[in-house]
Structure 1
Amino acid sequence: MIVNKNMLLLLICLAIWPSAMAQQAADPEFWHISDSNSIVWDVSSESWLPHGDNIEMSGSKVSGIIYYAVNEKRQLTVTRDLIFPQLRTYDRTNGVNWQQYRAYRRLTYSSEIEPTITDSLKTVVFDQVDSVRIAGKLIIYHTPVNHIVLTRTLFPSMTDRLFVEQWTLTNIGRDAKKLHIGNTTASTALPGYKGTYHNRVYSDAHDHISLTAGQSYRFGIYFVAAINDEPTDGFSHEAAEHERDAFLETMQESLVLETTNPVLDQLFYFSKIRAAESIFNSKMGLVHSPGGGNYYVGVWANDQVEYSGPFFPFLGYPKGSIAAENAYRMFLKHIPKGDKPIPYSFEIEGDIQSSNKDRGDAAMIAYGTSLYLLRMGDKKLAASLWPLIEWSLAYCHSKLDENGVVRSQTDEMEGRIATGNANLATSSLYYGGLKYATYVAQELGYKNVSNTYKRQQRELEKNIENHFGSAIEGLDTYRYFEGNDRLRHWICLPLVMGINTRAEATATALLDSMWTENGVLVEHQPGPQAHTVFWDRGTLYALRGTFKAGFFEKSLEKLAAYSRKRLLGDHVPYAIEAFPENNMRHLSAESALYCRIFLEGILGIEQTGFSSYNITPQLNEQLPRLTLKNIHLGHTTVSIALELIGDDQVNVKISTNGRLVVDTKQKNRRQVNFELK
């Protein structure tokens, strides 16, 4: 492992730079949207220096968090934090308990592994940067030195334990160049649970090259991990790039958003990449995991079951749908006996369970699994996973208190902030589970069960209103738990589930009282420190809910501002987990939640069966057109095109396989029903 104290200090500095820069400048924009589905940071004209950022990129056996920073002289520093999730390492004798959950082989590399380029007995130092591009890969364009341009392209292998850094040297001068490339290599070995783990860094550059005027030479630097006798060389950067490009092409062609706002379109595309790339091989099969340097080869009841699982059927990405199914099956396999709560995560390829508290996970599972099955539209699959829904709803019902709302020890914030004995999130998710399980039950022929769930849903809606409905900070919205007197981000959940009794005050609380330049606060409190705590998942749910409830203009204004900051601001190009905790890591499932704003919020897609749908189109002068192409609804691929006509009419066209299913002009926000057979 190539690491020292100075490098660790550098990593710490790089990690805090985005937030430090945010304090220096009021919402600076470093990036602009370019062609080829990319964004570009023009460092040559940048006035806000120094600046640093990081981006995570993943394949099935590797994840790399690349830290890059540019100082006042436009000099670049790159640090590669590489994680090989399947290579479980031994616990440390002086370690703490949580480290066993994060026991991945992890190495950090800086400039000491970079090749040395020599031209006429002089070492060519490519330290300055002209621009940086993000296009599903990280591409760095260096300032020419001695008429030579260096372009670096960093990306993960999609199939191997391999991260690639591709260097391209181009002669932009008139005379031929003879260059010497001095390669450096590094190797380490470590015993682990699966054998001896070998890590190797090497380059396949030729020692001597000649470049005529205008000619380029490309080679790869390979960061490899292997177990026992697996090969650590012989890789091809061209083949790895072809794999990455094929994945990116799939993301470009599936579930395509086209609006009059290029920021929304671009961040939607990037969100598909981040949501879909973080899928890993494991003993559980393919699994989607959050990433972020901490969370790999595992599944969680919130991130995978509730957030990303219901999204993948829309995307039509087979690996995503399979990974989602594997997550649901893992929870099904571990339904507990008696009244014990179900484990809320399975980490380290399923070897370690987390079940020390009830976070309302049964409600998350009922809601997420029901949505996933409706969207897959597969009766056989639904029948096989139905016991998970049935158990989850029964567990929630068994936890109803004297007020008819669901008791849980905490919520998915896991005790970071008080939740009382019964919180609004758990009851709202249980409500959503009942709502969508009624449709799954109907499709499976369980009429009596469906009727029971409908009755329980109606009762729960009354109980949510009676117990949680309250005036908080002068707004007739919801208290999060009994005794709570501050606005919370999860008051958005009734809106997400279609409960609009207190919609106007709740939307005001979320989009006005609690809104900051980073979205919705976790809790609204007086004092400056309270205004620094935010989790993007709350913002992404809030926007979905306020759009769904019909507060289009204000929601669009906030969505546009939030999207611009996440795409073009100081930490790009994805939705983040949280701040200050984990300092704004790019967790994968948050990107799935971003896409769901458009599908379930703006479009208002709802299902009442495997093949029956309705949407509630919404547009205005700021967003007069919206098209979603290649939406996968069950076994059918659909395109939906909306266009504003006049002040309050929308032209709605829904087509599949070139055939119009719906072609109508109607009032804005009026529901459209359709079936796909």
Structure 2
Amino acid sequence: MKLLSAKPIFLFIVLCNGLLVSAQDRWAIQEDGSIRWEVKDRLPHTDHIEMSGEKVSVWVRYGLDSVGRSDIFRTVVFPTFRLLPDATRSHISYSFSDSDLPRLYVNNRLINLQLVKNGPGRTGELSYNIKSFSHKGIMKISAQAGTPALVNVERTIFPSTDKPLVLETFVIKNITDQPVNVYMEYLRKEVRTDANRSKGQQHSMIVGSVNDGTQTVAPGGSASFSIFYLASDTPQSLSAINPQQEETARAARVASLDDKLQLETPDKILNTAFAFAKLRATESIFKTKGGYMHGPGGLAYYAAIWANDQAEYINPFFAYLGDERGNLSAMNAYRHFAAYMNPAYKPIPSSIVAEGDANWHGAKDRGDQAMIAYGASRYAMTFGNIDSAKVLWPLIEWCLEYSRRKINEQGVVNSDSDELENRFSAGKANLSTNTLYYDALRSAAMLGRLLGKPTEAYLKQAAILRGNIEKYFGGTIEGFATYRYHENLEVLRAWICLPLTVGIMDRKEGTINALFSPRLWTADGLATEAGKGTFWDRSTLYALRGVLQAGETEKAMDFIRYYSRRRLLGEHVPYPVEAYPEGNQRHLSAESGLYCRIYIEGLFGIRPTGFNTFECTPRLPKDWNNMALRKINAFGNVFDVDVARAGTGKLLITAKGKKYTIREGATQVIKL
């Protein structure tokens, strides 16, 4: 399918069984890789985005009402400033609207952020007319003040890379032929937490101004003013704040991630969506007293780790990226989980929270041990470091033994719930836990051989489990030859896609038809359960990867293109989301890691088999002649994988200078 350009247009995609979905691009890709919404019509519109650094996260709701009045609202989260008792959400956070900011004046006339062109306002006030919004790690808002315009107003909002600090900067440019005086009020406000509830000591949150006062600006010149939002336990001795230095550091962090693990295809939207997902997946790593901890975010989940989000979803992605903080956070997550191993084989908690000081196990055993073993074994081989693998091996071994002890009379693994934590039924044994356990057994067998461990038993267990998965879960559900998600459930579930992602293709045709049927596929991807309005992007992202792995490349690509365009250029941008209606489509960061894995493990078919070896089963779409993954940092090497056509039915793979010619659909073992 030929994609149209990234201009605001209507995109129509015909899905299977006559389901037609239409969408209109609101955003457009720019030359620098950012995306921009040029405000023209189609109002009102409101959206939200999250941005994170090592010590802070900022969630911004932004948009315009029906007459163009701006609505900017920000919530600043400080993950390592906490209250008692220890809990998942015991971090401190504060919210601010535009009315909380110091006021800006031009030639003694107030820039009224709520006054639009030709709108009602007090005499002498200047209107504020937003022209565009843009994103690429730094949120930028372009506006003009005055009717006719006197100044351009460029506003940026971004987190510090390494401090508990968020900055909002206004750059006022004189666009008249006469000097203008620009003034910003002084602001400093401090809020202190309850000393009796503060963990460690009393915390202060301070909002204040930088470069406040009057500046005379010549024609064509600019004046810069900033507002800071910070947390501190020593408010009496704050260091000077340098907004430009902080913005330069944030831009450098974004550029460093942009430079790593690059996707190159003929499709600009896919390349750009991949680059954005890398950023969201990796920026949300917090430097805590318990080490680097990747956190999902979403105003709820910080300085904490989960067996699904971190151990299963994001850590295997970090093994390919080559970002130091990503790999430190991955190893640290597994170490935190390993601390809960015990000889009685009581389950490891689902989540380690409050910088490692507490845990959450509210949904009991969600299959967490299968999640951890799956992620840790894949991570260990992909990372390609034998010392790291030796550290992880006891955890993998323990988790596999835990799962073995949960096998029921039908030969599948029981668990109390699954990663949806009883939001939907999971029965006594569910497909998710068993599929992950199956793949973990196979990976552990490969990893164990590298470490000199006896692992034949794992291969035998995997073979038996695969047969039992078919017997226990296989069936005709709503007319499709696929899987029931758990015993006695005769309604389709999104997670029927999981067997495809681990190489179980026995029911691929019926499963793919079910996934893309009107019973499951919606405008926002897969419904969690057929007939329900709830969706979680994580299952859609697994499914798109699995359909590629199953060899249904063209069918998968239609849906990947549709999904990517909607998430990058549609109404809620620019990242994959968690869920709806729960969380209002928060940009939880691990989902972005799953998006990148669509291409790594699905499109390029990379599957780790050793510290310096992997299988490669590329799925080159029929309308592409080539594709590449650049600057892969995995298997102990930095290398590219190029895939190109090599005649009818053949592909040429180039990896680290070695060339391999294979049949389309075939698998090549690559040793670096």
* 1:331 paired residue among 318, 331, 337: 337
Q: Is the 8 A contact 1:187 1:201 kept in 2?
A: yes
Displacement after TM superposition at 1:229 (Å) = 4.6
Contact 1:543-1:559 within 8 A present in 2 as well: yes
**Which residue of structure 1 lines up, in the alignment, with residue 484 of structure 2?**
479
Distance 1:570 1:646 in 2: 41
Picking from 503, 506, 510, the partner of 1:501 is 506
> Which one of the candidate residues 523, 536, 544 is aligned to 1:517?
523
Which residue type is aligned with residue 275 of structure 2? Y
TM-fit CA distance, 1:605: 0.3
Quote the Cα distance in structure 2 between the aligned partners of 1:540 and 1:206. 47
Q: Return the letter of the residue paired with 1:189.
A: R
Decide whether aligned partners of structure 1 residues 394 and 642 sit closer, same or farther in structure 2, where only a CA change above 3 A counts: same
Contact 1:200 1:232 in 2 (8 A): no
Matched, 1:280 2:280: no
The answer for the alignment partner of 1:379 in structure 2 is: 386
Aligned to 1:416: 423
Residue identity opposite 1:395 in structure 2: Y
Q: Corresponding residue for 1:178? A: 181
CA contact (8 A) 2:438 2:466 kept: yes
Q: Distance in 1 between matches of 2:205 and 2:171?
A: 24
Of 397-406 and 205-214, the range deviating more from structure 2: 205-214
d(CA) in 1 for partners of 2:499, 2:246: 45
User: Does 1:306 pair with 2:312?
Assistant: yes
Note closer, same or farther for the CA distance 1:48–1:642 as it changes in structure 2 (3 Å cut).
same
Partner of 2:123: none
Q: Does 1:109 align with 2:96?
A: yes
1:433 counterpart residue number: 440
TM-aligned CA deviation for residue 645 of structure 1? 5.1
Cα distance in 1 between the residues matched to 2:181 and 2:70: 25
| Counterparts in 2 of 1:618 and 1:230: CA distance versus 1, 3 Å | farther
> Residue 205 and residue 418 in structure 1: after superposition, are their counterparts in 2 closer, same or farther (change >3 A)?
same
Q: Is the 8 A contact 1:204 1:221 kept in 2?
A: yes
Does residue 456 of structure 2 align to residue 451 of structure 1? Answer: yes
1:15-26 equivalent positions in 2, closer than 5 A: none
Q: Is the 8 A contact 2:111 2:145 kept in 1?
A: no
Task: From 359, 365, 368, give the equivalent of 2:375.
Answer: 368
Cα distance, 1:339–1:518 mapped onto 2, change above 3 Å: same
- CA distance in 2: counterparts of 1:337 and 1:359, whole angstroms: 20
1:122 maps to 2:116: no
Change (3 A) 1:120 1:143: closer
After superposition, the C-alpha distances for 1:215-274 in whole angstroms (9 at most, x for unaligned) are: 112232111110145644511111111211111111111001111111111110010100
- Listed as ranges, the matches of 1:79-158 within 5 Å are 79-90=73-84, 100-126=87-113, 127-145=128-146, 146-158=149-161
Bigger drift between 223-232 and 187-196 goes to: 223-232
Q: Answer whether contact 2:377 2:396 (CA < 8 A) is retained.
A: yes
Conserved in 2, the CA contact under 8 Å of 1:341 and 1:355?
no
Deviation at 1:653, TM superposition (A): 1.9
Shift of 1:307: 0.4
Secondary structure of the equivalent of 1:498?
coil
1:269 to 272, 275, 298: 275
Indicate the SS of the match to 1:650.
strand
CA contact (8 A) 1:435 1:457 kept: yes
In 1, Cα distance between equivalents of 2:493 and 2:264: 33
- SS for the counterpart of 1:506 is helix
Output the CA distance in 1 between the equivalents of 2:580 and 2:301: 17
2:613 and 2:661 map into 1 onto residues whose CA distance is 20
Q: CA RMSD in A?
A: 1.5
Distance 1:337 1:343 in 2: 15
Give, in whole Å, the separation in 1 of the partners of 2:495 and 2:90.
32
Change (3 A) 1:626 1:574: same
Contact 2:604-2:618 within 8 A present in 1 as well:
yes
Alignment of 1:215-614 (within 5 A): 215-229=221-235, 231-232=237-238, 234-356=240-362, 357-446=364-453, 448=454, 450-512=455-517, 513-525=519-531, 530=532, 532-614=533-615
Equivalent residue letter for 1:361: D
Return closer, same or farther for 1:73/1:405 CA change in 2, 3 Å cut-off: same
8 Å contact 1:360–1:426 — kept in the other structure?
Answer: yes
Are the equivalent residues in 2 in contact too, given 1:511–1:555 (CA < 8 A)? Answer: no
| Partner Cα separation in structure 2 for residue 122 and residue 441 of structure 1 | 72
TM superposition shift of 1:106: 0.7
Task: Please say if residues 165 and 220 of structure 1, whose CA atoms lie closer than 8 Å, have aligned partners that are also in contact.
Answer: yes
TM-score (norm 1): 0.91
Task: Provide the rounded CA distance (Å) in 2 between the counterparts of 1:72 and 1:417.
Answer: 38
User: Is residue 648–residue 667 contact of structure 1 (8 Å, CA) maintained in 2?
Assistant: yes
Q: Secondary structure at the match of 1:349?
A: helix
Percent identical among aligned pairs is: 37
The one-character-per-residue Cα deviations of 1:599-635 (angstroms, maximum 9, x if unpaired) are 0011110122111112111112344431110011222
Q: Which amino acid aligns with 2:155?
A: R
Greater fraction helix: 1
Q: Does 1:30 align with 2:26?
A: yes
Deviation at 1:29, TM superposition (A): 2.3
27-36 vs 581-590, greater mean Cα deviation: 27-36
Separation in 2 of the partners of 1:457 and 1:294? 37
Q: Which residue of 1 aligns with 2:17?
A: none
Q: Deviations over 1:160-197 (max 9, x none)?
A: 11001111111111111122222333221112112111
What is the distance in 2 between the residues matched to 1:469 and 1:580? 30
C-alpha contact 2:88 2:304 (8 A) present in aligned 1: no
- In 2, Cα distance between equivalents of 1:230 and 1:424: 56
Distance 1:440 1:612 in 2: 11
Contact 2:554 2:622 in 1 (8 A): no
CA-CA distance at 1:309 after TM superposition:
0.7
**One-letter amino acid of the counterpart of residue 58, structure 2:** G
Partner Cα separation in structure 2 for residue 174 and residue 570 of structure 1: 39
Matched to 2:100, the amino acid is: I
Deviates more, 1:646-655 or 1:604-613: 646-655
TM-score by length of 2: 0.92
CA distance in 1, matches of 2:485, 2:36: 42
**What's 2:8 paired with?**
none
Give the secondary structure class of the aligned counterpart of 1:49: coil
- Determine the structure 2 residue equivalent to 1:11: none
In structure 1, stretches of 5+ residues that fail to align are 1-24, 92-98
Distance in 1, Cα, partners of 2:271 & 2:191:
43
Cα deviation digits, residues 304-343 of structure 1 (max 9, x gap)? 0000111101000010000000000001111134132111
- Partner SS for 2:87: helix
* Counterpart Cα distance in 2 of 1:543 and 1:315: 21
| 1:364 positional shift | 0.5
Deviates more, 1:225-234 or 1:242-251: 225-234
Deviation at 1:144? 4.0
CA distances 1:452-475 after superposition (whole Å, capped 9, x unpaired): 101111111111111111111111
Shift, 1:652, TM fit: 2.2
Which whole-Å CA distance do the structure 2 matches of 1:429 and 1:608 have between them?
17
Give per-residue Cα distances to partners, 1:33-83, cap 9 Å, x unaligned. 11111000011x2x2100000100001111000111211222211111011
What corresponds to 1:6 in structure 2?
A: none
2:37 is paired with a residue whose SS is strand
Distance 1:230 1:307 in 2: 42
Q: Does structure 2 retain, via aligned residues, the 8 Å contact 1:73–1:128?
A: no
